[in-house]
Structure 1
Amino acid sequence: MIKIGKNKISIKHRPYIIVEACVNHQGNFNIAKKMIYAAKDAGAQCMKFQHHIVKEEMLEKNIPKSSNFKKPLSKVIEDTNFSIKQHIKLKNICTKIGIDYLCTPFSIKAAKELNKINVKFFKTGSGELTNFPFIDAIARLGKPMIVSTGMSLPHEIDETVKIIKKHKTPLGLMHCISAYPCPYEIMNLDFINYLSKKYKIPVGLSDHTPSIYNALGAVSLGASMIEKHFTFNKNLPGPDHKSSINLKELKELTKGVHANFLARGSKKIIFPQEKQIIAWARESVVSIKNIKKNDIFTRNNISTKRPSPKGDEVPAKDFFKILDKKSKSNIEVDSIIKKSQVT
């Protein structure tokens, strides 16, 4: 289990919903503020931002562009990045309204700056999974880590987990496919179960599909956390809007996550709510003709019909047991056969 403030993250607790702002705020602080209030209003437990220091995390020349970027990565970051002072303000807003503030650093320096402003925990992106100096530096800070696992192989995940566990740092993993937007057919949600069984720690889904469907499915499979990119307008320019959900979808996500969490049970019993339905939905053995004493019960004079049997009445499941037996009394048509009437 991971504890973040008042929130507990485990398979036994309501899934922890992380709303990812990414760069969908377009670098506009007021939009970022509105995103926090929207996430809280929708019922999410956490609002996540990103902290970049370009010169610390990348060479500014010759960085390849993926299909979701129209500008160089460094330019996108420079146009949308917030200062640490702005992050402090965003964090204070989160604290004020009662939603967890989370921020992903992309360099050791960025992580240290976030640590200085007393973040409760860290989330690392899939690209940093194999950056062992970076992972080690954050793990040494001793605060809970949530680690995304996109673009990786199982042995790479294992190597990263070992580094973090060496420092006894609380850890959760996010199954992730780093495609923007991600096609459903490559999501491989069952890998959530693999991670849960192997590491016995909270496992969630960082979901880049353009809808909430796979996130809801992940909860049914035992996901303890759900992370979704959020935008007010999917048609805005930028690398992440197309793989994000809007406010209406976010509200449906929080409702659906809770509903699927409540529905996870594995026991098969007859619940109290079902008992009133049993009264009319099951069937009894009934006469379909007048039956005289000593007549033999056959398919020609008995059948099964509702309502359910009571007390001495013969249930439908015992139909074959009374075939070829004799009636102890006269029985009128359309009567429920009683056990006491069968020899």
Structure 2
Amino acid sequence: MSFTIGDCVIGLEYKPFIIAELSGNHNQSLERALKIVEAAGEAGAHAMKLQTYTADTMTLDVPDGDFFISDEKSLWKGRSLYELYQEAYTPWEWHEPIMKRANELGMLCFSTPFDASSVDFLESLNVPAYKIASFENADLPLIRKVAATGKPMIISTGMATLAELDETVLTIREAGCEQFVLLKCTSTYPSSPENSNVLTIPHMRQLFNCEVGLSDHTMGIGGAVAAVAHGATVIEKHFTLSRADGGVDSAFSLEPEEMKQLVIETERAWQSLGTVAYGPTEAEQPSMKFRRSLYIAKDMMAGEMLTAENLRIVRPGMGLAPKYHELLLGRKVNQDLKKGTAMSWSFLG
């Protein structure tokens, strides 16, 4: 199931693919956007992701009713959708310089399109892949258009029922795309660890026979590390220079040092999985000598009997195994033995 995006391989045999999501954290400054790209590159992220829309392609300019955010728990309470997207959107003319800077720093750069016109625009920039947001994972016409580009796809699964996901995956495959990743995602901002349900990741891999990952809106990196331990091959996190700078997504975004730790710790988690193994590894062989074994604890004369005082279980491990201790007690030795001699069967009369 593994495949490549640019020069990065997505698959269980390879370290996790880490995506830094810019979203609206540029705070309407191209200079800040480029600094975020540079910080992501320095932190070790493998890709930078943008969002491609305008307020007009996303929603209607209606300041009330269904288009007004009144949820008390929302970060964006008291604002209209149109106003929010006007602040959060990344101007389309910024895409090329942002992508160029990311590429210069060795990162891939792609985007989330939200309508057909944004797909056409991103195709003109020859993006290496596409991301589908959770809120669009049931927009089958959009998914069909993206899949038809032949580029790899990464799809967040937030809120989607199993039946809806089945429809989405079927649409992707019918359009000829087999190189795709489903990201477990909880569409709350921020999300709580309790609502992350990363155990869904191996289940999703088995059901849909594809690569899986996590689009993570929780604070910190614990959820991402847990996801990698359960087979996630892609991790996406919102990223900013400093949460204190504010912005529409800043509250649940990682800062540079946290992103660096995410890259390091998810790779360590992946490395630690290994295979099912028992017994000493090759790396452990030198440590075998420090196990416990049977040693002569007092100087002994030939014909003397082994007792709990003169035959002890101690480190290192060059003598007979501890399991023989009781068997040997009461037996006589056939030669003089010095204290500190590793016990051997050859010492018995």
Match of 2:136 in 1: 128
CA distance in 2, matches of 1:204, 1:112: 27
**Judging changes above 3 Å, is the alpha-carbon distance between structure 1 residues 150 and 318 closer, same or farther for their aligned structure 2 residues?**
farther
CA distance in 1, matches of 2:205, 2:68: 34
| Aligned residue identity for 2:216 | D
| Aligned residue identity for 1:20 | E
Q: Which runs of 5+ in 2 are unaligned?
A: none
- 2:104 partner SS: helix
The structural deviation recorded for 1:60 is 3.4
CA distance in 2, matches of 1:198, 1:329: 68
Question: Is 1:45 the counterpart of 2:46 in the alignment?
Answer: yes
Match of 2:9 in 1: 8
Question: Is 1:190 the counterpart of 2:199 in the alignment?
Answer: yes
| Aligned residue identity for 1:53 | T
Q: 1:214-261: CA deviations, max 9, x gaps?
A: 212222222111111111121333332111110111112222222222
Question: Is 1:68 the counterpart of 2:78 in the alignment?
Answer: no
Match of 1:31 in 2: 32
| Kept after mapping to 2: 8 A contact 1:53/1:106 | no
Question: Is 1:118 the counterpart of 2:90 in the alignment?
Answer: no
**Judging changes above 3 Å, is the alpha-carbon distance between structure 1 residues 182 and 327 closer, same or farther for their aligned structure 2 residues?**
same
Match of 1:207 in 2: 216
Match of 2:343 in 1: 337
Q: 1:28-50: CA deviations, max 9, x gaps?
A: 11111111111111111100111
Match of 2:162 in 1: 154
Alignment of 1:79-94 (within 5 A): 79-94=87-102
CA distance in 2, matches of 1:317, 1:72: 74
CA distance in 2, matches of 1:205, 1:64: 29
The structural deviation recorded for 1:96 is 2.9
Question: Which of 276, 287, 293 matches 1:277?
Answer: 287
The structural deviation recorded for 1:98 is 2.3
The structural deviation recorded for 1:323 is 4.6
- 2:243 partner SS: coil
The structural deviation recorded for 1:268 is 3.5
The structural deviation recorded for 1:128 is 0.9
Question: Which of 106, 111, 115 matches 2:114?
Answer: 106
Q: 1:283-309: CA deviations, max 9, x gaps?
A: 111234565655554545533001111
Alignment of 1:225-244 (within 5 A): 225-244=234-253
Question: Which of 260, 265, 273 matches 1:251?
Answer: 260
CA distance in 2, matches of 1:336, 1:249: 51
Question: Is 1:143 the counterpart of 2:151 in the alignment?
Answer: yes
**Judging changes above 3 Å, is the alpha-carbon distance between structure 1 residues 324 and 194 closer, same or farther for their aligned structure 2 residues?**
farther
CA distance in 2, matches of 1:105, 1:55: 14
The structural deviation recorded for 1:56 is 3.0
The structural deviation recorded for 1:186 is 1.7
CA distance in 2, matches of 1:308, 1:176: 50
CA distance in 2, matches of 1:27, 1:223: 33
Number of equivalences: 339
Q: Which runs of 5+ in 1 are unaligned?
A: none
CA distance in 2, matches of 1:60, 1:321: 88
State the percentage of identical aligned residues: 29
Match of 2:333 in 1: 327
CA distance in 2, matches of 1:273, 1:3: 32
- 1:285 partner SS: strand
Match of 1:222 in 2: 231
Moved more, 139-148 or 129-138: 129-138
Q: CA RMSD in A?
A: 2.2
CA distance in 2, matches of 1:177, 1:320: 59
Q: 1:132-160: CA deviations, max 9, x gaps?
A: 22212211222111000112233322221
| Aligned residue identity for 1:222 | G
CA distance in 2, matches of 1:239, 1:325: 80
TM-score by length of structure 1 reads 0.90
The structural deviation recorded for 1:321 is 4.5
TM-score by length of structure 2 reads 0.89
